[in-house]
Protein backbone atom coordinates (compact mmCIF):
# COMPACT_ATOMS: atom_id res chain seq x y z
CA UNK A 1 0.00 0.00 0.00
CA UNK A 2 1.31 3.47 -0.93
CA UNK A 3 1.95 5.92 1.90
CA UNK A 4 -1.05 8.05 1.00
CA UNK A 5 -3.19 4.96 0.35
CA UNK A 6 -3.34 5.45 -3.41
CA UNK A 7 -3.37 2.55 -5.79
CA UNK A 8 -0.25 2.02 -7.90
CA UNK A 9 -1.91 3.52 -10.96
CA UNK A 10 -3.70 6.39 -9.20
CA UNK A 11 -2.94 10.07 -9.65
CA UNK A 12 -3.13 12.54 -6.78
CA UNK A 13 -6.07 15.02 -6.73
CA UNK A 14 -5.72 17.64 -9.45
CA UNK A 15 -7.02 21.19 -9.67
CA UNK A 16 -6.38 23.78 -12.35
CA UNK A 17 -7.47 27.36 -11.70
CA UNK A 18 -7.33 29.35 -14.95
CA UNK A 19 -6.69 33.10 -15.29
CA UNK A 20 -5.08 33.08 -11.85
CA UNK A 21 -3.14 36.30 -12.40
CA UNK A 22 -4.12 39.67 -13.80
CA UNK A 23 -1.29 40.65 -16.12
CA UNK A 24 -0.15 37.58 -18.10
CA UNK A 25 -1.79 36.61 -21.38
CA UNK A 26 -2.32 33.14 -19.94
CA UNK A 27 -2.01 31.93 -16.35
CA UNK A 28 -3.02 29.01 -14.15
CA UNK A 29 -2.51 27.81 -10.62
CA UNK A 30 -2.18 24.07 -10.93
CA UNK A 31 -2.18 21.71 -7.93
CA UNK A 32 -1.39 18.03 -8.11
CA UNK A 33 -1.55 16.73 -4.58
CA UNK A 34 0.44 19.20 -2.50
CA UNK A 35 2.52 20.39 -5.43
CA UNK A 36 1.37 23.84 -6.53
CA UNK A 37 2.75 25.74 -9.50
CA UNK A 38 1.86 29.10 -11.00
CA UNK A 39 2.27 28.79 -14.76
CA UNK A 40 2.09 31.85 -16.96
CA UNK A 41 2.45 32.45 -20.68
CA UNK A 42 3.64 35.89 -21.82
CA UNK A 43 3.92 37.12 -25.40
CA UNK A 44 6.86 39.16 -26.56
CA UNK A 45 6.99 40.67 -30.03
CA UNK A 46 10.41 39.39 -30.99
CA UNK A 47 12.34 36.16 -31.30
CA UNK A 48 15.87 35.08 -30.33
CA UNK A 49 18.61 36.10 -32.80
CA UNK A 50 18.88 32.64 -34.44
CA UNK A 51 15.25 32.91 -35.64
CA UNK A 52 15.07 36.52 -36.79
CA UNK A 53 13.61 37.16 -40.19
CA UNK A 54 12.14 33.68 -40.64
CA UNK A 55 8.58 34.68 -39.83
CA UNK A 56 8.24 32.00 -37.16
CA UNK A 57 8.00 32.14 -33.39
CA UNK A 58 9.61 30.50 -30.39
CA UNK A 59 8.67 29.16 -26.97
CA UNK A 60 11.08 29.43 -24.09
CA UNK A 61 10.51 28.42 -20.50
CA UNK A 62 11.81 29.40 -17.10
CA UNK A 63 11.30 27.45 -13.89
CA UNK A 64 11.90 28.43 -10.33
CA UNK A 65 10.87 27.53 -6.81
CA UNK A 66 10.06 29.89 -4.01
CA UNK A 67 12.77 29.44 -1.38
CA UNK A 68 10.31 27.88 1.02
CA UNK A 69 8.40 25.75 -1.46
CA UNK A 70 10.30 22.89 0.12
CA UNK A 71 10.66 21.30 3.55
CA UNK A 72 14.03 23.04 4.01
CA UNK A 73 14.51 26.57 2.74
CA UNK A 74 16.63 26.76 -0.42
CA UNK A 75 18.85 29.69 -1.24
CA UNK A 76 17.46 31.76 -4.10
CA UNK A 77 19.25 31.31 -7.41
CA UNK A 78 19.31 35.10 -7.77
CA UNK A 79 21.20 35.39 -4.49
CA UNK A 80 23.54 32.59 -5.49
CA UNK A 81 24.13 34.49 -8.74
CA UNK A 82 23.54 31.53 -10.97
CA UNK A 83 20.92 29.08 -12.02
CA UNK A 84 21.52 25.47 -11.00
CA UNK A 85 22.01 22.59 -13.40
CA UNK A 86 18.73 21.06 -12.22
CA UNK A 87 16.81 24.24 -13.01
CA UNK A 88 18.37 24.54 -16.46
CA UNK A 89 17.55 20.94 -17.23
CA UNK A 90 13.93 21.46 -16.24
CA UNK A 91 13.42 24.68 -18.14
CA UNK A 92 14.96 23.23 -21.28
CA UNK A 93 12.62 20.24 -20.94
CA UNK A 94 9.50 22.40 -20.53
CA UNK A 95 10.36 24.51 -23.55
CA UNK A 96 11.13 21.53 -25.80
CA UNK A 97 7.96 19.75 -24.75
CA UNK A 98 5.68 22.67 -25.55
CA UNK A 99 7.36 23.30 -28.88
CA UNK A 100 6.34 19.80 -30.00
CA UNK A 101 2.58 20.46 -30.12
CA UNK A 102 2.52 23.94 -31.61
CA UNK A 103 2.99 25.17 -35.13
CA UNK A 104 5.52 27.96 -34.55
CA UNK A 105 4.90 29.36 -38.03
CA UNK A 106 1.42 30.31 -36.93
CA UNK A 107 2.48 32.61 -34.09
CA UNK A 108 4.64 34.90 -36.21
CA UNK A 109 7.88 36.42 -35.00
CA UNK A 110 6.91 36.21 -31.34
CA UNK A 111 8.34 34.53 -28.28
CA UNK A 112 6.04 32.91 -25.77
CA UNK A 113 7.70 33.03 -22.37
CA UNK A 114 6.49 30.25 -20.13
CA UNK A 115 7.15 30.83 -16.43
CA UNK A 116 6.62 28.02 -13.99
CA UNK A 117 7.01 29.12 -10.39
CA UNK A 118 6.62 26.37 -7.84
CA UNK A 119 5.06 27.81 -4.72
CA UNK A 120 4.77 24.46 -2.95
CA UNK A 121 6.71 21.33 -3.80
CA UNK A 122 5.79 17.73 -3.08
CA UNK A 123 7.25 15.75 -5.97
CA UNK A 124 6.57 16.00 -9.67
CA UNK A 125 7.22 19.72 -9.99
CA UNK A 126 8.56 19.43 -13.53
CA UNK A 127 5.70 17.28 -14.80
CA UNK A 128 3.13 19.48 -13.05
CA UNK A 129 4.80 22.50 -14.65
CA UNK A 130 4.44 21.02 -18.13
CA UNK A 131 0.84 20.02 -17.56
CA UNK A 132 -0.04 23.48 -16.24
CA UNK A 133 2.04 25.32 -18.82
CA UNK A 134 0.08 23.67 -21.61
CA UNK A 135 -3.10 25.24 -20.24
CA UNK A 136 -1.49 28.66 -19.76
CA UNK A 137 -0.15 28.51 -23.29
CA UNK A 138 -3.60 27.64 -24.64
CA UNK A 139 -5.16 30.57 -22.77
CA UNK A 140 -2.55 32.93 -24.17
CA UNK A 141 -3.13 31.66 -27.70
CA UNK A 142 -6.88 32.13 -27.31
CA UNK A 143 -6.26 35.72 -26.25
CA UNK A 144 -3.85 36.30 -29.14
CA UNK A 145 -6.43 34.94 -31.55
CA UNK A 146 -9.15 37.11 -30.03
CA UNK A 147 -7.15 40.33 -30.29
CA UNK A 148 -5.89 39.54 -33.77
CA UNK A 149 -2.23 39.08 -32.84
CA UNK A 150 -2.36 35.68 -34.53
CA UNK A 151 -4.67 34.56 -37.35
CA UNK A 152 -4.88 30.83 -36.93
CA UNK A 153 -5.01 28.50 -33.94
CA UNK A 154 -1.51 27.01 -33.60
CA UNK A 155 -1.80 24.17 -31.02
CA UNK A 156 -2.55 20.84 -32.63
CA UNK A 157 -2.59 18.40 -29.74
CA UNK A 158 -2.86 18.16 -25.99
CA UNK A 159 0.30 17.70 -23.93
CA UNK A 160 0.78 16.50 -20.39
CA UNK A 161 3.49 14.95 -18.28
CA UNK A 162 3.66 12.54 -15.39
CA UNK A 163 6.25 10.76 -13.30
CA UNK A 164 6.43 7.02 -12.75
CA UNK A 165 8.84 5.31 -10.41
CA UNK A 166 9.90 1.93 -9.23
CA UNK A 167 9.58 1.50 -5.52
CA UNK A 168 11.82 -1.18 -4.04
CA UNK A 169 8.80 -2.80 -2.35
CA UNK A 170 5.75 -1.79 -4.36
CA UNK A 171 7.18 -1.95 -7.86
CA UNK A 172 6.02 0.56 -10.46
CA UNK A 173 3.86 3.41 -9.13
CA UNK A 174 2.32 6.43 -10.83
CA UNK A 175 2.71 10.12 -9.92
CA UNK A 176 5.20 10.02 -7.04
CA UNK A 177 4.96 12.40 -4.12
CA UNK A 178 8.24 13.64 -2.67
CA UNK A 179 8.56 10.91 -0.05
CA UNK A 180 7.96 8.21 -2.66
CA UNK A 181 10.42 9.85 -5.02
CA UNK A 182 13.10 9.82 -2.34
CA UNK A 183 12.75 6.04 -1.99
CA UNK A 184 12.35 5.15 -5.66
CA UNK A 185 15.13 3.25 -7.43
CA UNK A 186 14.08 4.42 -10.83
CA UNK A 187 12.46 7.69 -11.78
CA UNK A 188 10.88 8.21 -15.17
CA UNK A 189 9.30 11.41 -16.46
CA UNK A 190 7.08 10.94 -19.46
CA UNK A 191 5.68 13.70 -21.65
CA UNK A 192 2.96 12.59 -24.05
CA UNK A 193 0.46 14.03 -26.47
CA UNK A 194 -3.26 13.54 -26.66
CA UNK A 195 -2.62 11.15 -29.55
CA UNK A 196 -0.64 8.93 -27.20
CA UNK A 197 2.80 9.60 -28.65
CA UNK A 198 5.93 10.33 -26.67
CA UNK A 199 7.50 13.77 -26.67
CA UNK A 200 10.08 13.13 -23.98
CA UNK A 201 11.16 10.10 -22.02
CA UNK A 202 13.61 10.67 -19.22
CA UNK A 203 14.26 7.64 -17.13
CA UNK A 204 17.07 7.40 -14.68
CA UNK A 205 18.23 4.83 -12.21
CA UNK A 206 20.28 6.67 -9.60
CA UNK A 207 22.63 3.97 -8.35
CA UNK A 208 20.29 1.40 -9.90
CA UNK A 209 19.21 -0.03 -13.25
CA UNK A 210 15.97 -1.26 -14.80
CA UNK A 211 15.02 -3.99 -17.21
CA UNK A 212 13.13 -3.87 -20.48
CA UNK A 213 10.07 -5.42 -18.80
CA UNK A 214 10.11 -2.84 -16.03
CA UNK A 215 10.24 -0.17 -18.69
CA UNK A 216 7.12 -1.54 -20.38
CA UNK A 217 5.21 -1.51 -17.08
CA UNK A 218 6.31 2.08 -16.42
CA UNK A 219 5.15 3.20 -19.83
CA UNK A 220 1.74 1.61 -19.38
CA UNK A 221 1.23 3.49 -16.11
CA UNK A 222 2.36 6.73 -17.70
CA UNK A 223 -0.09 6.27 -20.53
CA UNK A 224 -2.98 5.90 -18.09
CA UNK A 225 -1.92 8.94 -16.04
CA UNK A 226 -1.48 11.17 -19.06
CA UNK A 227 -4.95 10.37 -20.36
CA UNK A 228 -6.47 11.46 -17.06
CA UNK A 229 -4.38 14.63 -16.91
CA UNK A 230 -5.48 15.61 -20.40
CA UNK A 231 -9.08 15.10 -19.28
CA UNK A 232 -8.46 17.65 -16.51
CA UNK A 233 -6.86 20.09 -18.96
CA UNK A 234 -9.88 19.70 -21.21
CA UNK A 235 -12.24 20.54 -18.34
CA UNK A 236 -10.21 23.57 -17.33
CA UNK A 237 -10.05 24.92 -20.87
CA UNK A 238 -13.74 24.48 -21.67
CA UNK A 239 -14.54 25.64 -25.21
CA UNK A 240 -10.89 26.34 -25.96
CA UNK A 241 -10.28 22.59 -25.90
CA UNK A 242 -12.32 22.32 -29.06
CA UNK A 243 -9.79 24.43 -30.90
CA UNK A 244 -7.13 21.87 -30.05
CA UNK A 245 -9.31 18.99 -31.18
CA UNK A 246 -10.09 20.69 -34.46
CA UNK A 247 -6.45 21.48 -35.17
CA UNK A 248 -5.51 17.91 -34.32
CA UNK A 249 -8.15 16.55 -36.65
CA UNK A 250 -7.07 18.90 -39.41
CA UNK A 251 -3.43 17.92 -39.01
CA UNK A 252 -4.38 14.26 -39.11
CA UNK A 253 -6.32 14.76 -42.31
CA UNK A 254 -3.46 16.65 -43.86
CA UNK A 255 -0.93 13.97 -42.99
CA UNK A 256 -3.24 11.30 -44.36
CA UNK A 257 -3.84 13.26 -47.52
Q: Is 86 annotated as a binding residue?
A: yes
109 near its own copies (CB under 8 A):
no
Of 77-85, 147-155, 226-234, 239-247: span binding its own copies (CB under 8 A):
77-85
Q: Is 193 annotated as a binding residue?
A: no
What residues from 164 to 223 belong to the interface with its own copies (CB under 8 A)?
Answer: 188, 193, 195-212, 215, 219
Residue 248 CA to residue 257 CA, distance in Å, equals: 14
Smallest distance, Å, CB 189 to its own copies? 10
The three-state DSSP-derived secondary structure of 29-65 is: EEEECCEEEEEEEEEECCCCHHHCCCCCCEEEEEEEE
Of 10-18, 45-53, 96-104, 237-245: span binding its own copies (CB under 8 A):
96-104
Q: Is 46 annotated as a binding residue?
A: no
Helix (H) / strand (E) element for 200: namely strand 198-204
Length of the chain: 257
What 3-state DSSP class applies to 239? Answer: coil
User: The dihedral of CA 135, 140, 145, 149: what is its sign?
Assistant: negative
Which residues are CB-contacts of 220 (< 8 A; sequence separation ≥ 6)?
Answer: none
CB nearer to its own copies: give 5 or 206.
206
In 66-185, beta strands by DSSP E = 111-120, 159-167, 171-174
56 near its own copies (CB under 8 A):
no
Residue 162 CA to residue 223 CA, distance in Å, equals: 9
32 near its own copies (CB under 8 A):
no
Smallest distance, Å, CB 27 to its own copies? 7
Q: Is 123 annotated as a binding residue?
A: no
Sequence ranges of the binding site for phosphate? 86, 124-126
Q: List residues near its own copies by CB under 8 A.
A: 21-24, 27, 34, 38, 40, 42, 44, 62, 64, 66-71, 73, 76-89, 91-92, 96, 99-100, 104, 113, 115, 117, 119-120, 122, 188, 193, 195-212, 215, 219
Amino acid sequence: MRMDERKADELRPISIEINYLHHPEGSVLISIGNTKVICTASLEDRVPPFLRGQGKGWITAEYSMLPRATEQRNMRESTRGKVSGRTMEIQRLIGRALRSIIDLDKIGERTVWIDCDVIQADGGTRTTSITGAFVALSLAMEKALANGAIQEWPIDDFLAAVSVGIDPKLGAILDLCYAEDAQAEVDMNVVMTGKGEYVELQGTGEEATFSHNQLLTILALADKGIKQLIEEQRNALGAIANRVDEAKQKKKEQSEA
